[in-house]
Structure 1
């Protein structure tokens, strides 16, 4: 029998392997647990915390599947996928993304698998079914690898155009362009996580948003949830008539503001309906509430 080196992995349906590239350890661990539940025979051979490590490990271990976070330090998920396209036997690629709904339609059109954070078990199971079918075809055909390379190159070109469009749209929204371009419809619902659960939250139920590292804490009357995006990106999708920034890391739903008060030393706070705590307002934004 031929001796195998670490980079010479024979791919069969019984020895399928995967790599997870994700810079958030908790998210990587959660995805690994979900995969163990819906695809128990799949081996997670490595977890990479940045794009450069992912490229190195994929070249060394040759996993059958690579789950790639799009936004990673060092090199993005697209950079990693581009490197995979140059391999003799590229892995099946699944992008793990926090992009919002209008971008996901474009990802679907690009005919590549994606998972939206936080990952839902049912959605992951459908992705696994497609991966199993593709890997089975690959094992049965000697011509599948060259076709995979060509497909991956084509998809990368499409995704690069998509992500460029998304960046430009968000930049335009943040800059407040005053042109004749119709404004995108503001978000009506948020997909937010609470522990292992994912909830659809109407934005009108939100009291305020608060930045927390790579997440945004969503506060409602019933508690706090998390969404994985920056506050800046989120603001570009909210209705500016309803959601006002009141601090560097805080955006409030003005429909939920009951009163504003100023202390003896000039510090303003907001009282929200049905919420016990007071919300601080920085001096930069205090003028918005002077008439209350």
Structure 2
């Protein structure tokens, strides 16, 4: 099986390549690229059996690359690999054979390879996969207690009680405690479903803050609302839809 990996993070490309090599020596990586334009060029030129596409890449994103590839008469299967599950439905609408969420688990990747090997016998049409994804996205999630976070090359495990706020920044979410900052890949939308609404509030599309960490709320001369925290960080914006959280009782 000839494979192209497209992801804008070199370490993740290396990690995925190593996992594929460990699964089988018959999996040949013919190209590894860092943006959508290169992915489209290499897939068109090399016509691999499968391309692993990151969704969020500079220039053309993975969904746009898939859309362009679908216009061509190629036999290349598409697998999306991303830190977010928001685009799962769009991925299958673009003809993806599978959808992997980072960090990639080797056993889950093995299932993807088995699915690719039997692609001509796909047991579930995309319409049914889309329905299944919608059901999974609305199902109840267990409350968040322990969080695996990254700092440099190290992985730490912290209790949710230590967290003061979560802030989405590009592809990552920064987890802020009283003493340090860490990185995770879980999107805020998913975190909201796992955090107690009596403990945390989402005050902006990019910010979830612990209620007890809020010291005061203020407005600027334009009427925009901001939260100041007990940690003395820069003011955090409050979206218009979240301002009702701070109405006087």
Q: What TM-score, normalized to structure 1? A: 0.55
Contact 1:18 1:66 in 2 (8 A): yes
Q: How many residues align?
A: 223
- Residue of structure 1 equivalent to 2:118: 133
Range 239-248 or range 38-47, more displaced: 239-248
1:226 aligns with 2:183: yes
Structure 2 SS opposite 1:95: strand
In structure 2, distance between residues paired with 1:283 and 1:58 = 43
Larger Rg: 1
In structure 2, distance between residues paired with 1:252 and 1:86 = 44
In structure 2, distance between residues paired with 1:96 and 1:127 = 11
In structure 1, distance between residues paired with 2:89 and 2:147 = 16
1:34 aligns with 2:12: no
Q: How does 1:1-292 map to 2 (within 5 A)?
A: 16-100=1-85, 112-134=97-119, 155=126, 188-189=143-144, 192-194=148-150, 206-219=163-176, 225-228=182-185, 241-244=198-201, 251-255=208-212, 257=213, 260=215, 269-270=229-230, 278-280=231-233, 282=235
Q: Deviations over 1:222-280 (max 9, x none)?
A: 9765323666x56865666533468997643225x4x959xxxxxx651xxxxxxx352
Q: Deviations over 1:17-49 (max 9, x none)?
A: 111111222222221222222233322221222
Measured after TM superposition, the shift of residue 216 of structure 1 is 1.1
- Residue of structure 2 equivalent to 1:7: none
In structure 2, distance between residues paired with 1:198 and 1:38 = 27
Measured after TM superposition, the shift of residue 56 of structure 1 is 1.0
- Residue of structure 2 equivalent to 1:141: none
In structure 2, distance between residues paired with 1:198 and 1:93 = 33
Structure 1 vs Structure 2 CA RMSD: 4.8
In structure 2, distance between residues paired with 1:242 and 1:249 = 17
Measured after TM superposition, the shift of residue 283 of structure 1 is 8.0
What 5-or-longer segments of structure 1 have no aligned partner?
Answer: 1-15, 138-143, 149-153, 170-182, 262-267, 271-277
Measured after TM superposition, the shift of residue 60 of structure 1 is 0.4
What 5-or-longer segments of structure 2 have no aligned partner?
Answer: 217-227, 239-244
Measured after TM superposition, the shift of residue 105 of structure 1 is 8.3
Measured after TM superposition, the shift of residue 79 of structure 1 is 2.1
> Runs of 4+ in structure 1 displaced over 6 angstroms?
105-111, 183-187, 196-199, 245-249
